Amino acid sequence: MSVNHLIQFLAVSQGCRSREELVFELEKVLEVYKFDCYGLLRSPKPDQNPLSLALAGRWPEKWPQIYATKKFALIDPSIRYLAHAHRPYRWSETLTVFGDDPHFKRMQRMMMDAQRFGLEDGYIFPVHGRGGLLGYMTVCGRPVELTQLEIVLFDSVAKCAFWRLAEISGEADQLSTVQKVDVRLTRRELEILTYLAEGMTSNEMSKLLEISNHTVDWYVNELQDKLNAKNRQHMVAMAYRLGLIS
């Protein structure tokens, strides 16, 4: 059974003493499942190219350059969905989530570009630590149908590979440290922040909370200052990163 290769990786990975040895064992598993490409990456910030944060990976020739040049990191639905995901998910599932997004057509074009490079579909396995999202593993290429058991085991493989590589590179302690969140919000500010994350406008919030638009905007400005955010979208992103909302 193919799942035996996943279980074997979990058993042998802790004995790997170098990055090359661990990557070799991981790629053996991916070959069995016919995943042509993969990436084991740290969690990117909104303005970072995730491919530049790879602990390990294998991509089609020129795809990383095209991904960076066209700034796909800003609109890649599979990466944007990481902010909401706590369990593994499939690339093809994420596009429908952003159907009302103003960048939806650009997302579709990005997916079409990826398909021309043989990246037809894939899975993403988030890796969380005590401080939130730390990174993820993506496996991709031609469409592969994984059973629920295989998804669970691949999820364990992703976490195991991520932390073992972090240990080998000496980053494990830094990644496992919980950063202190020194942002004090009032109950009303938390309400406003939650409604912002749901995409509500100032007018919608004022009606719901029975306060004026001016008062809502005052709270938003206060939140922006407290989170040191550039705009409303950045404010929501910072709130997710700090664990203020989920």
pLDDT score, position 83: 78
For the segment 230-244, what is each residue's pLDDT rounded down to a tens digit?
A: 888 888 887 877 777
Residue 181 CB partners (closer than 8 Å, separation 6+): 242, 243, 244
- Check: CB of residue 37 under 8 Å from CB of residue 119: yes
Mark 38-77 as b/e (b = at least 16 C-beta within 10 Å).
bbbbbbbeeeebbbebbbbbebbeebbeebeeeebbebbb
Q: Is the pLDDT of residue 34 over 60?
A: yes
What is the average per-residue pLDDT within 44-52? 66
β-partners of residue 125 are 137
pLDDT score, position 180: 54
Q: What angle do CA 190, 98, 207 make, to 5 degrees?
A: 40
pLDDT tier at 1, thresholds 50, 70, 90 = low
Residue type at 211? I
Find tokens 């919030």 and name the residue.
205
Find tokens 């990246």 and name the residue.
119
pLDDT score, position 154: 97
7-11, 75-79, 95-99 — most confident range? 7-11
Q: Would you tell me the crossing angle of helices 213-227 and 202-209 to the nearest 10 degrees?
A: 110
Domains, the chain, ranges and CATH?
Answer: 3-176 (3.30.450.80), 187-242 (1.10.10.10)
pLDDT score, position 38: 97
Task: Give percent of the chain with pLDDT exceeding 70.
Answer: 91
Exposed, middle or buried, 11 (CB in 10 Å: 0-12/13-18/19+)?
exposed
pTM strictly above 0.85: no
How far apart are alpha carbons 122 and 153 in whole angstroms?
16
Q: How far is CA 166 from CA 54, 57, 90, 162, 218, in A?
A: 12, 15, 25, 6, 43
Q: Is the pLDDT of residue 60 over 80?
A: yes
Q: Is the pLDDT of residue 171 over 80?
A: no
How far apart are alpha carbons 136 and 113 in whole angstroms?
22
For the segment 178-197, what is each residue's pLDDT rounded down to a tens digit?
A: 555 567 888 899 899 899 98
- In the predicted model, what is the mean pLDDT of the chain? 89
Q: Which of 155, 152, 122, 153 is nearest to 139 (CA)?
A: 122
Q: Is the pLDDT of residue 167 over 80?
A: yes
